[in-house]
Structure 1
Amino acid sequence: MRRDTFLKSLAALAAAGALPLSARAAANVKMMVPANPGGGWDTTGRALGKALTEAKLADTVTYDNKGGAAGALGLAQFVNGSKGDPNALMVMGSVMLGGIITGKPPVNLSQATPIARMTTEYNVFVLPANSPFKTMKDVVEQLKKDPGSVKWGGGSRGSTEHIAAAMIAQKVGADPSKINYVAFRGGGEATAAILGGNVTIGGSGYSEFAEYIAAGKMKAIAVTSAQRLPGINVPTLKEQGIDVEIGNWRGVYGAPGISAEQRKALTDMVLAALKSPSWAESLKKNDWTPAVLSGEAFAKFVDDDFASLRAIMAKSGMI
């Protein structure tokens, strides 16, 4: 092959995103975070961006925070504004599935491109430091007496802590359709409500409450994992006789309309970042459990989880 023909072929492959990562210039990644700054999705997106740049898989990563409606506002902006962009990523997860089920937004997750699941984070339930309750058993006893008197605080409607609250009510014999759940737009608002004693019990990922638990400003009473989390002495719901286990997984999607080759290149880039020292440090710092899944296996997982969540929410009277 003549040299000029070879170079033209190389350029065409690069434009199509079909070259291996090592043969292409590092990307300028645009990261949509469909939530306000400071919460779990924001922390995840910025940790991934840091891993991408430190591993030299991307030259730059820019972030666009668009909170509201359990990620539906950010999803709409991403779907409508990123079509065909091979360098666009959007952070998402189980919360977005719950939000789509309850909110029925005009855009659909299926319009974007599945890339990879990255982590699972289990929820912790906490009491304000001055709460008259001391344990989950105390909360459950009150829930049985009067479900509406227990004010649950957490993320958006359809979030894992909302679903967990409904599942807890169902398992202990309370009416899940009567739970009093207060949804907050971001982790900061929920934290302020718990610290101020404005809710009875709060739920979120452990990393969001860790500093307040350590300082004695919140009392952790249960986690939603199957076993106790490493290094964290908080009993599971199952230990306390409540058969509930639910994880808050997080992943990333690519833009609508990208080619199979571009999807593979984007997936390879993300998977390489998840093997970096920077990402390992973020896992440890945030108490995230690795849960890597990519390609069609990830797409099938999302479809299955969507169906499972819809069934749980319907049974619990949430939809």
Structure 2
Amino acid sequence: MRRTYFRFAHAVMASATLAAAAVAAPAFAMDNVKVMIGANPGGGFDQTGRSLGAAMVAAGQAKAVSYDNKGGAGGTIALTQFVNTDKGNPNALMVVGAVMVGAIETNKPPVTLKNATPIARLFADTMVITVPASSPIKSIKDLTTQLKANPGSVSWGGGSKGSIDHILAGLVAKESGVDPKKVNYVPFQGGGEASASIMGGHVTVGIAGVSEFLPFIKSGKMRALAVTSKDRVADIPTLKEQGVNVEIYNWRGVYGAPGTTPEQRKAMIDAVVKATESKAWKDTLQKNDWTPFLLTGDEFGKFVDSESTRLGATLRELGVAK
């Protein structure tokens, strides 16, 4: 009888210990999240993917995160690989954004975002126009004056052909009375490559998200001419206050792999949303001047469809897309 009681008591204590351990341990949604980044290291896509991965770990939504950088064609090369190799993988994510949407409209690749699974739009990013610190161009007025006199003499460095950077260059030209088709645009596969070319004076003007160029602006290696938002960011004057009627934003988010179940998709959406609620993610937003712009699931998919229509129309007007 005593032995039976001892065994029962031991079993109860063991169960209680296991229950306590289960409560104490974080409830990981997945063991290892794989993030595909359709750009070389150093740019906005790279910042987004790595920051989200770190936030997912900090929020207890993933034990580990791995990253795969594959630049080229506005992320569409990476998208093709992602769709073909990660089909059915519930732990895979790909960074997407306005740059990729524009590249799809421009290049018309066989694989598009309709072949993947919308998870979440994350934030909006104000864009900035910069020149090397040694440039004789001191203001947007100086830039548009040179652009009007000789459009080809102004080379614009930014993301891939058809990207939101390319669109911005065309809109500034159009608002300045210059044929957007005459814009001398130089595409780069990653933010690091673009930054080096701008600071080295290999292009006249650079375009990127504020977060990408702000360290170089603060260090004095670049001069910021304007931001594209309604209000100033980091005390950089807007295009509108300098007489150029253009206001435009970049945005970034993540898609999941094709072939996942509704339950797997919901688990990934929940994990990403919880990551955006973490201190790590909120600190990242503040540090990079990113504006929260959360939208999930099918609603995010509808937003991307509308962006494709909007950006596609602009690119055709600018002579970039057919």
- Residues in 1 aligned to 2:29 and 2:61: alpha-carbon distance in whole angstroms: 9
> What is the deviation of 1:259?
1.3
Query: Distance between the aligned counterparts of 2:155 and 2:40, measured in 1?
Result: 23
Find out whether 1:126 has 2:101 as its counterpart. Answer: no
Query: What amino acid is the match of 2:250?
Result: N
- How much is the aligned-residue C-alpha RMSD, in angstroms? 1.3
- How is 1:186-201 mapped onto 2 (pairs within 5 angstroms)? 186-201=190-205
**Residues 47, 23 of structure 1: alpha-carbon distance in 2 compared, 3 angstrom cutoff:** closer
CA distance in 1, matches of 2:202, 2:92: 39
1:279 and 1:242, CA in 2 relative to 1: closer, same or farther beyond 3 A? same
Post-superposition CA distance 1:68-107 (Å, at most 9, x none): 1110111011000111111111111000011111122121
Asked whether 1:103 is paired with 2:107, we answer yes
SS in 2 for 1:64: strand
Output the amino acid matched with 2:225: I
2:155 is matched with 151
In the TM superposition, 1:228-243 aligns within 5 A as 228-229=232-233, 232-243=234-245
Aligned counterparts of 2:264 and 2:277: Cα–Cα separation in 1: 20
1:44-193 superposed matches below 5 A: 44-193=48-197
SS at match of 1:134: coil
The offset of 1:25, in angstroms, is: 5.3
For residue 304 of structure 1, the aligned residue among 303, 306, 312 is 306
Contact 2:29 2:271 in 1 (8 A): no
Unaligned runs of 5+ in 1: 1-21
User: Does the CA-based 8 Å contact 1:26-1:56 persist in structure 2?
Assistant: no
Write the deviation string for residues 23-58 of structure 1: whole angstroms up to 9, x where unpaired: 765432111111111111111111111111111111
**Amino-acid identity (%):** 56
Name the CA distance, whole Å, in 2 between partners of 1:145 and 1:26: 57
TM-score, reference length from structure 2: 0.89
The yes-or-no answer on 1:42 pairing with 2:64 is no
Letter of the aligned partner of 1:124 in structure 2? V
User: What's the counterpart of residue 250 of structure 2?
Assistant: 248
Residue 97 of structure 2 aligns to which amino acid in structure 1?
G
Structure 1 distance, partners of 2:28, 2:217, is 46
Residue segments in structure 2 that go unaligned for 5+ positions in a row: 1-25
| CA deviation profile, 1:229-248 (whole Å, cap 9, x unmatched) | 2xx11111111121111111
Report deviation, 1:270.
0.4
- The 1:199/1:24 distance shift into structure 2, 3 A limit, reads closer
Counterpart of 1:267 (choices 269, 275, 287) is 269
Cα-to-partner distance string for 1:290-317 (whole Å, 9 max, x where unaligned): 1111122111110001100001111111
Residues 167-191 of structure 1: per-residue CA shift (max 9 Å, x gap): 1111121000010011111111111
Alignment counterpart, residue 291 of structure 2, candidates 285, 289, 292: 289
